[in-house]
Structures are given as structure tokens and as C-alpha cells.
Structure 1
């Protein structure tokens, strides 16, 4: 018997690896389910079919979803982040023009250098 020796460092490493892999697996499932349910380009039937595949054949389902949908996942995540930033700026009242005026005041007061001003202004204009 391989594990009859009780608690060993090898057993600890195997257990730690198993727990790590469990968390990675749960992260993948949560990521895929959140992407799946936030999609607007798939019908409800398509979502149900993906859920069935992910539950019935978890490994194959996750790998199939990643292989077939990973490029779209990145695009949807970027669009979601951009939308959240725009919505936050709208609610808070953030305006790039206001920030550039603040940068001009900082530059004229000598608080920032010309290089810092150019770098920060370029970030605001993006």
C-alpha cells in the first residue's frame, strides 16, 4: 500500500495539489457560467444545452467551451469593463476635459513635470 505510512510530506503535497486543482476547476466553472449567462448572442436553448454539457461532461464541456468561445469571452469581458467604466464616469461626473484642466493647474503650479503632464494627458485622452 502506498499511503499506509500515515501523514507524510508526499501526502501533504498531493493533498495540496488536489485542493489547488479543485479551486482552479471551480474558478473555470464560475468564469464559464458567468460568461454564458451574460451573453446576449445565444438563445435560452443554447444556454441550456451548454449547461447540460457542462454538468453531464464537465471536463469535456469546459475544454470545449474554452476552445470554441475563448476569443469571444475576452471580447465580451473587455466590452463589459468598458461599459462599467463609462457608466461609473457618467454617475460620478468624471470628464476627461475636467481632468486635463486639473493637470494644467498642477503643471503650472510646478507639482508635476512636463513629461508627467504629457504621460498623464495621453492616458486621459485614450
Structure 2
């Protein structure tokens, strides 16, 4: 096997993997699209199964822009859920935060030293 045979083999392997990635991406987008009916989804899948290259090219030409918009919307939604989760976990009150808040209330005169000690004991107990 010469070096050129290796490069030819590597090129065709790259093309094969790229085609599979495109087909999978298009099929995922077909099922993700809320504006397609069940029959339209079935027809696109049949088209992609029986004429994969032609079906993928037509799908990318016809619905490529909305495909990108759906992917961006999905990414924004996932990012929002992750941000919400991080905020909910990070904002949980710890004992130190509760004691700090109670100390600020004590310093401002809103609570008495006895109330401060009660709040501090409750925070340390929790």
C-alpha cells in the first residue's frame, strides 16, 4: 500500500463519515421541526432513506435556514435551563450567608443582640 493509496482511502473515509453526519443531522431536524406534520416527516424520512444524497441536498436547500434557527433556539433553551439550574444551586442560603445577613440587621439596629444570637443559632443548626 503506497502513501497515495492511504490518502485516497482516508479521503473516502472522510467523505463517508461526513455523509453519515449530514444524514443524521437532517433526520434529527426532521423530527425536531414543529411546523412539519406527521405525514411530511414520514415523506422526508422515506425520501432520505431511498434517495439519501438527493434528499439531503434538497432538504438543506429547502429547509436549511429554518434548520439553523431551530438549532440556535434549542441551544438557547438548553443554555437558559443550565443558567437557571446554576442560579438555583448557587443561591441556596448557607449558614455563613444567614449569619452575615443577621449581622447586618444587628448593625443597622433592626434586631436586638438576643434576636441575633437566635438567628445565628438557627443558621448553625441548619
TM-score normalized by the length of structure 2:
0.66
SS at 1:40 equivalent: coil
Q: Which residue number in structure 2 is paired with residue 46 of structure 1?
A: 40
Long gaps (5+) in structure 2: 89-126
What is the CA deviation profile of residues 75-125 of structure 1, one whole-angstrom value per residue up to 9, with x for unaligned ones?
11111111111111222217xxxxxxxxxxxxxxxxxxxxxxxxxxxxxxx
Q: Larger Cα Rg: Structure 1 or Structure 2?
A: 2
Distance in 1 between the 2:82 and 2:33 partners? 21
Q: Which residue number in structure 2 is paired with residue 30 of structure 1?
A: 24
| Equivalent position to 1:15, from 9, 17, 22 | 9
User: Does residue 75 of the first structure (1) align with residue 69 of the second (2)?
Assistant: yes
Let me know the Cα RMSD of the aligned residues.
1.1
Distance in 2 between the 1:70 and 1:9 partners? 38
User: Which consecutive segments of 4 or more residues in structure 1 shift more than 2 A?
Assistant: none
Distance in 1 between the 2:85 and 2:32 partners? 22
Kindly indicate whether structure 1 or structure 2 has the higher relative contact order, using CA contacts under 8 Å at least 6 residues apart: 2
